[in-house]
A and B are shown apart, each in its own frame.
Chain A
Amino acid sequence: AQKVTQAQTEISVVEKEDVTLDCVYETRDTTYYLFWYKQPPSGELVFLIRRNSFDEQNEISGRYSWNFQKSTSSFNFTITASQVVDSAVYFCALSEETSGSRLTFGEGTQLTVNP
């Protein structure tokens, strides 16, 4: 069965520090998809990125970057030069080809960026 582990429950950094959020997944499928979501204090989950199992290229979007490594079953998320507006709960999620449309979410990491 699929599983997503976000071992970091809470992270606190000072503004402008770089921070990496860890995500480790388990799946038996060869085709699967990985996601990151951001949940700011307002509560709505915001989709950030999707990665397909057959595409291990890392991705960079502004201050955000994602490192997908199948060898270690990890999909880590790095925020460079963090800002107070990055404070939120971040969720990693997995969907498998065989499980259809359901996502398995990790428990989330609460990131607090202090000024």
Chain B
Amino acid sequence: SQTIHQWPATLVQPVGSPLSLECTVEGTSNPNLYWYRQAAGRGLQLLFYSVGIGQISSEVPQNLSASRPQDRQFILSSKKLLLSDSGFYLCAWSQGPPYEQYFGPGTRLTVT
């Protein structure tokens, strides 16, 4: 069966510091991978998605970037965090169609 991992679970970082969040999927090959952000009490915002190694699509222009160095690894990064980067970050994977997505446990990021 497939499993998706995210780490760290929680993170507190000062403004201006770098960020690296990692997501890995087990039990499948060539998945589609996604990064979402969820502000407190709000809906899901798609940040990036990838249909293959090295293929990244950005949905929202911002100071975040994503990379996919391996087939089942997806990394979200920032060189300098902003206060507005605080939120709950979710990684997901899918295959398909019909493309239902399966989500990881999430990383709660607080920028201070």
Chain A interface residues (CB < 8 Å from chain B): 33, 35, 37, 42-47, 50, 52, 91, 95, 97, 100-103, 105-108
Given A101-B49, A101-B99, A103-B99, A43 contacting B88 (CB threshold 8 A) = yes
Is the CB–CB distance between B32 and A47 below 8 Å? no
Is the CB–CB distance between A44 and B104 below 8 Å? yes
Is the CB–CB distance between B43 and A35 below 8 Å? no
Is the CB–CB distance between A50 and B103 below 8 Å? no
Residue in chain A with minimal CB distance to B103:
A45
Given A33-B100, A43-B108, A45-B103, A101 contacting B44 (CB threshold 8 A) = no
Given A45-B90, A102-B46, A95 contacting B98 (CB threshold 8 A) = yes
Is the CB–CB distance between A47 and B105 below 8 Å? no
Residue in chain B with minimal CB distance to A42:
B105
Q: Which of B42, B43, B49, B100 contacts A47 (CB 8 A)?
A: B100
Residues of A within 8 Å of B108, CB to CB, are 43
Residues of A within 8 Å of B44, CB to CB, are 45, 91, 105, 108
Kindly state whether residue B19 has any CB partner on chain A within 8 Å: no
Q: Which of A91, A97, A101 contacts B43 (CB 8 A)?
A: A91
Q: Mark B77-90, 1 if CB is under 8 A from A, else 0.
A: 00000000000101
> What are 20 inter-chain pairs, A to B, with CB distance below 8 A?
A35-B100, A37-B103, A43-B105, A43-B106, A44-B103, A44-B104, A44-B106, A45-B90, A45-B103, A47-B102, A50-B98, A91-B43, A95-B98, A97-B97, A100-B51, A101-B49, A101-B94, A103-B101, A107-B42, A107-B43
